[in-house]
Structure formats: structure tokens, C-alpha cells
Amino acid sequence: MCRAVFLLALTVLVCPAAEALDNGLALKPTMGWLHWERFMCNTDCDKDPNNCISERLYMQMADVMVKEGWKEAGYEYVCIDDCWPSHQRDAKGRLQADPKRFPGGIKKLADYVHSKGLKLGIYADVGKNTCAGYPGSLGYYERERRSAFADWDVDLLKFDGCYMDWKLLEKLHEHVKSTKQTGRSILYSCEWPLYEWPYKQPDYKAIRETCNHWRNFADVYDSWSSIKSILDWTASHQDIIVPSAGPGGWNDPDMLVIGNFGLSHDQQESQMALWAIMAAPLLVSNDLRDICPRSKKLLQNTDIIAINQDPLGKQGLCTIKMDSFEVWERPLSKKRLAIAVLNTQEIGGPRGFFIRAAPGWKICDPQCNVTQILPQYKELGVQTPHTKLVVSVNPSGTTLLTVTPTSDYAGLIL
């Protein structure tokens, strides 16, 4: 059974999250597109001009986001990851984009993205170098503040932590403090706790005061084993990380890899459902120009996105593990509950789960309305505490439900 669920639920529902970074941003989990998992550090624009890290790639993604319904669905950030800079700073010591791959510079790209009604994110590293070996910001924080990120009108800044002594990660405070002085509102995406966890438990109060969302665990890969490892880590550390999440600051389990190569459709549905339950940033890393219609429909599913973006702003929990099922539950606004039932078996066929076994089912007293969101939308009608309702869950798939009590329930949601 997922540990300390009842006490954690009490903490999450009664106690507000720690004070958030006061920049008015990320009041709901961030949504957008990020290049890294799909395009990585492909800089060979001679051999692969359509997929290399260049201004052309981001402009095309911005175009597709507007034309193909992504912006309308809520995806608003076009995010550059590592490998965008020149290997050399300019004559004044400033970061500069690779002149061949970004001939117009970052400001021109930002202007283009903004002209589409979208926002631009960019990547930096608090250490000497980025993870891919490009110039880092250590020793240049003030210069970066004055001459780069704000002048380029970027809207999101992702801070990595490669080539940095983990004991000096408070430098992130210094970097954020300096960039905040520009007067421009920039959303801060941090990897600070990811680099501290091997040595000590991070200070999530300080992290929440510094970052709008933060990575805790290893990079996601385009594989079900990677998704499972992220879910396992999150469930085993939820008593530490969940209380820190809320409007203005979110735990980031990394990118959505839906629409790529490594996940079955059931597994894609599981990632989407559970990222919604975890109130995770929805940063898609795929090729929006060439995505199968089924994956696109899943990523743009308004009912799942509504769970992710729910204004109550509470991260969900793994509430029980039993008989090769995991139940994840998230309290929603208007006293509702989202329930995700994951079938962890990877053999056989669909299996039934008695929904009343979910710990949060107690809100269905005296009765409730139940709606199935995944795998197909279905109104399941009015149910009672002793319902015989069984939901069918495919191997490595997830059934996602919302539960709306039909009268006030005075107890805890979870």
C-alpha cells in the first residue's frame, strides 16, 4: 500500500502549500512543447535541416501549435532546451545563439513566437557548462541578467545543474534573484532537487520560493520502463514532495512522450492520466508536425486537461497498491475527485477493478455521479457507497474517472 496516505491527505487538504515564488506565474501547471526528448542535441542542420536545433524548428512548432489546436487546448510555451548557444560567448562575454542555426538571434525568435500569441522558453545552466557542454552561467549571472534573458523577451527560463558542485546549488537563488531584477515576469523551471537528492533531502520550502516548477528525478525516456520508474519514485517520495505543490509551484515529473515511438496507446493514456493526477506541467516532447491522430486527440483531451488545470491546485496521491493495481486520486474543485486506476500487469487481457476499493470512494456517500474519461468517455451514472461498479483496465493502461458527490460530504476527500 502507498505509505502514509491518510496523514498525507490530511496535510495536503488542510495545510496550504509553502509560500510560492511571487511572480504571479504558473498558477496552474505549465503547458507547452519542449524539444529535448524528441530532438535532443541534433545540431547537424546540413544533414538534417528539418529536425536540427534551429530557429526553423521552433518557428514551425509555433505555427503548428496555432493551426492544429494546441494553443486552443492550452499549450502556450515553445521551449528551447540545451544546445542552442554558440560554443563561444561574444566579445563582451555574453551568451549568444549559434549564428548558423539561429541567424536572427533569440530576440527575433521570441518576437515570432509572441506574434503567434505564444510564449518562448529557453535553457541555461547554473554551472560552468550546460549538460551538453555549451557555456554555462556560473560567473556570469549579473551579465546574463542585464544582457540576455530579459532583453530577448523570453518568458520561461529552465535552469539545469550540470557541472556545478551540488553544495553550491544555492547559487540558483542568486541567479533567480538577479533575473527577477529585470522587471520582466519570467517563469522559472529548475532542476535543483534532482541534483541534491543523491546527497540529501532538498529544502522544498526554499525551492518553492525560488522556482515555479522543479524536477526531482531522472530524465524521462520514450519507454514504459521510464514512465514506471518516475511513478514509483513519486509514490515513494510523495509524503515529502506533494505538500510543496500548489498554485505558483509544481513538481515536474518531466516531459510527455506521447506521440513518439516507445509507448503503446494504453501506456500513452496512462502517462497522460497520471500526469494530470500529479498536477504536473504538461510539456510535450514530440514532433507536432507529424503526430498520429490518436495521440493528438489524447494530448488535446479537454476533460483530462481540465483535471490537470483544476483551480483547486492540489497534487494527487498514490492511495493504494493492491492485486497489481495502483490507485491514484486527486481532489478537485467543487468537492469532486479524480481517480486513476492503473493496471500494472503487462501480460494477459483487461482486468476488472471494484471502484469502491478506492480509498477516496468515501465521498460517494450517500451517492455520487461518476464519469469515465479514459479509455473512452462514458457517463456511469449515479452510484452509492456499496456500488458493484467494476471498471475494466487494460494491461499497463489506466481508467480515469471523475466523481461528483450529489450532497455535501463532511469528511476528507482522500
| CATH code for the domain of 332 | 2.60.40.1180
147 has pLDDT over 90 = no
Domain count, the chain: 2
Residue 361 to residue 414: CA distance in whole angstroms: 8
Residue 160 is assigned to a structural domain of this protein:
yes
Residue 16, pLDDT score:
56
Residue 326 shares a structural domain with residue 294: no
Over residues 278-334, the pLDDT tens digits come to 999 999 999 999 999 999 999 999 999 999 999 999 999 999 999 999 999 999 999
- CA 212 to chain centroid, in Å, comes to 11
> Given 279, 309, 339, which residue is the final one in a domain?
309
**Position 5 in a domain:** no
Q: pLDDT (tens digit, 9 = 90+) per residue, 220-254?
A: 999 999 999 999 999 999 999 999 999 999 999 99
Residue 125: beta bridge partners? 160
Q: Is the peptide bond before 366 cis (omega within 30 degrees of 0)?
A: yes
Looking up residue 193, the CATH number of its domain turns out to be 3.20.20.70
Q: Please confirm, yes or no, whether 160 is among the known catalytic residues.
A: yes
155 and 303 assigned to the same domain: yes
Are 161 and 292 found together in one domain? yes
Per-residue pLDDT of 65-81, as tens digits, reads 999 999 999 999 999 99
Structural domain boundaries, residue 86: 31-309
> Which is the catalytic residue, given 155, 160, 254, 310?
160
Give 40-52 pLDDT, tens digit per residue.
999 999 999 999 9
Of 397, 364, 371, the C-alpha closest to 274 is 397
Q: Which of 63, 219, 232, 303 is catalytic?
A: 219
Judge whether 26 lies within some domain: no
Query: What is the model's pLDDT at position 243?
Result: 98
pLDDT bracket for residue 6 (50, 70, 90)? very low
* pTM, entire model: 0.94
Q: Report pLDDT for 227.
A: 98
Q: Residue 15's pLDDT band (boundaries 50, 70, 90)?
A: low
Residues 254-266 have pLDDT tens digits of: 999 999 999 999 9
To the query of whether residue 254 is one of the catalytic residues in this protein, the response is: no
